[in-house]
Chain A
């Protein structure tokens, strides 16, 4: 059994592998060297794992490449794998997220882009079509752009109902469909937008990341631009779970792949102070669905620590016990093979880490 950790950075993709149950890692040289990799997926639904990578060339535009041999070779169609139709009047600027659908739809892969749009593939992620229901939503003219741009950065297909998908965008907030993407409803009740005149709007929130609970598909966790929330009703309403966190600001949030109520994040001091609390590199974990949180820092650097962890730069794997991974804006990658109890370095001195994904392959 090999554990694969895909690390997307500002200057390429690095593939780390472990053959000893995640005790040691071998890190590849850069794939797509010099190009930004904002989105990675490891699709393990088929007989052969497929890597999907959103590659962002600052000169020559975005694209999606796939590999069916764990990065030995990459393929890309002749025509653009992902592009707006002519009548949309827009151009894809960046691919922010690639998300395989549930096992009931083995060929379906979703992609989220900048500007905020959702695309759907039915050929395993080679080519995509715009999901018009979201693109043509009447709210779209009022969706804003955060500091990183305006993008759909989170896509959570329901694990058993292909008609249901939840997405999150910055700014705009959370939207859900229950009819396969034809119609979308804002799902932000209870999420505060302190930066707007009405702090409790129907939409317009700056949700940084959303994770689905590993056991209860109706329970979600959201890390907001100030605010950490839980929904127990499929995203209809949200309640704060930030009371016992040191701060309510941060970017990533991830949930245990199987055990309900276990979730991790990486708090930063504040919007205007984007560094770890007490300048200490530390992850926080809750095992009671966010009611209480505890720091996890054994094995992490003890020196004053400044880098942030971006919204997609934390993930879990599918092993037992679950592995947890994160990468920093200073190019360090850390892994835990015991659900955050202890950590070790996988890599250092890489470019700015944008995304990480891990799976047993």
Chain B
């Protein structure tokens, strides 16, 4: 099963979990759709109401930045590790 790694700042929105196992695979979008069903407070921190990845949120699928590998269409293999990280921004 793919695993979503939740950054510390968002773990409260995932019941305190640092790792979430998801059934969805195939594409990153499908994984995020499952998050929306199971952990909606987490998912809406990652995507806006149009399903667009928020500007300052980065997602790496097996270490590859999804913005360079197909965005929400990025392939997600069965044992993929999906890491959600806030980008370096702010002040």
Give residues in A with beta carbon < 8 Å to B.
57-61, 76, 78-80, 83-84, 86, 89-92
* Closest Cβ neighbor of B44 among chain A residues: A80
Determine if A83 and B45 form an interchain contact, defined as CB atoms under 8 angstroms apart. no
Partner of B89, one of A59, A84, A86: A59
Q: Across the interface, which residues of B come within 8 angstroms of A86, CB to CB?
A: 49-50
Tally of contact residues, B, Cβ under 8 A: 18
Q: Across the interface, which residues of B come within 8 angstroms of A84, CB to CB?
A: 49-50
Determine if A59 and B54 form an interchain contact, defined as CB atoms under 8 angstroms apart. yes
Task: Provide 21 A-B residue pairs closer than 8 Å at the C-beta atoms, listed in order of the A residue.
Answer: A58-B56, A58-B89, A59-B86, A59-B89, A60-B9, A60-B10, A60-B45, A60-B46, A60-B54, A60-B86, A61-B48, A61-B54, A78-B41, A79-B40, A79-B44, A83-B44, A83-B48, A84-B50, A86-B49, A92-B48, A92-B49
Q: Name A's interface SS.
A: loop
Determine if A91 and B52 form an interchain contact, defined as CB atoms under 8 angstroms apart. yes
Q: Across the interface, which residues of B come within 8 angstroms of A59, CB to CB?
A: 9, 45, 54, 56-57, 86-87, 89-90
Q: How far is the CA of A57 from the CA of B12 in the complex (A)?
A: 15
Q: How far is the CA of A80 from the CA of B44 in the complex (A)?
A: 7
- Distance (whole angstroms) from the CB of B90 to the closest CB of chain A: 5
* Closest Cβ neighbor of A62 among chain B residues: B48
Q: Across the interface, which residues of A come within 8 angstroms of B54, CB to CB?
A: 59-61
Interface residues of B in 57-91 (CB under 8 A from A): 57, 86-87, 89-90
Q: How far is the CA of A79 from the CA of B89 in the complex (A)?
A: 26
Q: How far is the CA of A86 from the CA of B51 in the complex (A)?
A: 10
Interface residues of B in 6-30 (CB under 8 A from A): 9-10
Determine if B48 and A57 form an interchain contact, defined as CB atoms under 8 angstroms apart. no
Q: Across the interface, which residues of B come within 8 angstroms of A92, CB to CB?
A: 48-49
Q: How far is the CA of A78 from the CA of B48 in the complex (A)?
A: 14
Q: Across the interface, which residues of B come within 8 angstroms of A61, CB to CB?
A: 44-45, 48, 54
